[in-house]
Amino acid sequence: MYTNQPLRKVLYAVLAGLLFIPVSCHRQEIESPAPAANKQAGAKLSDAPCVALTFGKELGTWSTVPNSRFQVIIAADGNRQLVGQILPEANFGSRFLIRGGQFIARPDFTPKPEAAGKKDCFVQGSDGNGWSVPGFSVADLGSNFEQVPAADGSPAFRVKDRFQGVTDVYSSKTTLGTWTANNTILEARRIAGVGLVVAQNITLVDPRAQGRDMFIIRGRNILQREDVSLPNPLDRGRTEAFAGPQTGLNGLLPPFASFTIPGYDLLPASAGLDQAYRRSL
């Protein structure tokens, strides 16, 4: 399942993930944010009609920007639902805007069944279209988020980097989660001269490893796939921390041409096996 040909068979059946926020997770799993003042009125997550709209639930599509995704975001106080629009920006892939609840009731918005008729579950916007939420700031999201510009310069938000402690390719590597399609581990590793990369650890599944550390470098957008399980759900929004572009096959294609990693042998792609790096003897 870690080779290109079998992967392609699986991947075309899997929906592409754009959003940094997971499709389903409980808000209790999010890193503890600093509470913010409750400045906006609206229904709460604890209200009966709204309990199913948990952090990361997909809300639907907007025909004006069909490749933009909308999902539930929970405010830092843990009990306010926000409409998050994840921007379809190829250079970023994880920046988002906050819309008012009215947005999912617009005539040009097609809600998911669980979001239909639920606009009042969300913090309301300043107008009938829910274009913006009055008084909203990054403080409402908590200390794990920061404000950044969108491609057009308008204010957007993203999750802060947490990988400063990953300083090399092996000794400080950090587990990100599991690609459930083949039960292999995804890790954050740092390569000198390249930067932080998403590495699929195939030491236990590729016979070429011969018991040595071995990995494949994947596109950063693999973290946004629905078949990737991340214990820290906010890592879906940290794609900008990783070097290289988003890549095809939902992040499975390599983001770089081959290069040399000190202490590792380059194993070229052959016979259906992906290019990989194996620790030298």
pLDDT value for 79: 84
Is residue 258 a part of any domain in this protein?
A: yes
Give the C-alpha separation, 100 to 127, whole Å. Answer: 8
On whether both 126 and 200 belong to a single domain, the answer is no
Tokens (6 digits) for 35: 């509470």
On whether both 50 and 126 belong to a single domain, the answer is yes
pLDDT value for 13: 36
Decide which of 143, 174, 203 is a domain's last residue: 143
Decide which of 109, 143, 177 is a domain's last residue: 143
Is residue 243 a part of any domain in this protein?
A: yes
Residue with tokens 């499709």: 23
As a whole number, mean pLDDT of residues 169-195 equals 97
- Nearest 5°: CA angle at 39, between 35 and 43? 95
Is residue 114 a part of any domain in this protein?
A: yes
Range of the domain at 99: 32-143
Neighbours of 54 (CB within 10 A): 16
On whether both 117 and 196 belong to a single domain, the answer is no
pLDDT in tens, 81-123: 999 998 887 767 789 999 999 999 999 999 999 999 999 999 9
Tokens (6 digits) for 143: 């200390």
pLDDT in tens, 142-159: 999 999 998 888 889 999
On whether both 105 and 173 belong to a single domain, the answer is no
pLDDT value for 90: 72
Indicate the average pLDDT of the chain.
84
On whether both 198 and 136 belong to a single domain, the answer is no
